[in-house]
Amino acid sequence: MSNLVSVPKNGSLANTNSNENFPTLSNLLDDIFNRELPSVFTSNFNTGITLPKVNIKENADAFIVEMAVPGLKKSDFQIDLDNQMLSISTKTEEEKEQKEENYTRREFGYSSFKRSFTLPEGVDVEKINAKYNDGILDVFLPKKEEAKQKPPKTIKIS
């Protein structure tokens, strides 16, 4: 009787003497842990806000962080700078109560997110500003003068 075990490319162990008609415990566990989880398990467990999408643009004078966060108010945001770490967060609470003759229904929800970014050395942290318009939060990160791109220059040979 051989005790050799073959190792397939997927890394699961299979007994060479096993009956292929009956799944082994190892095969069942592999099936459970190697399949993709339903989206309910991979999404955030908050009530309504998922991690917002971000675009980061660079031009000659600044970096611009664009964050898509519709449905919020300007006062819902908190933007912090700690050393060279920029953090954008929000926390909202919603409470609804509906009273009818025979019942009262009360619902409440909380949602939050936090995105953090390490700033490049060339950002002038004293001049950072932000605006919120039509569901887009724009954070402007101006560059220091020495970090700004200089126009091309032709050097004459003497």
Q: What's the pTM value of the predicted model, to 2 decimals?
A: 0.58
Q: Where are the domains of the chain?
A: 5-35, 46-146
Digit-coded pLDDT (tens) for 7-30: 455 544 444 444 555 556 666 555
Digit-coded pLDDT (tens) for 37-73: 554 444 444 445 578 899 999 998 999 999 999 988 9
How would CATH label the architecture of 46-146?
Sandwich (2.60)
Integer CA distances (angstroms), 95 to 107, 108, 110, in order: 6, 4, 9
Digit-coded pLDDT (tens) for 107-146: 877 788 899 999 988 899 999 999 999 999 999 999 998 8
What are phi and psi for residue 111, nearest 5 degrees? -145, 150
Element spanning 104, H or E: strand 104-118
Strand order from edge to edge, sheet including 54-58? 54-58, 62-68, 136-142, 129-133
For 26, other C-beta atoms within 10 Å of its C-beta total 13
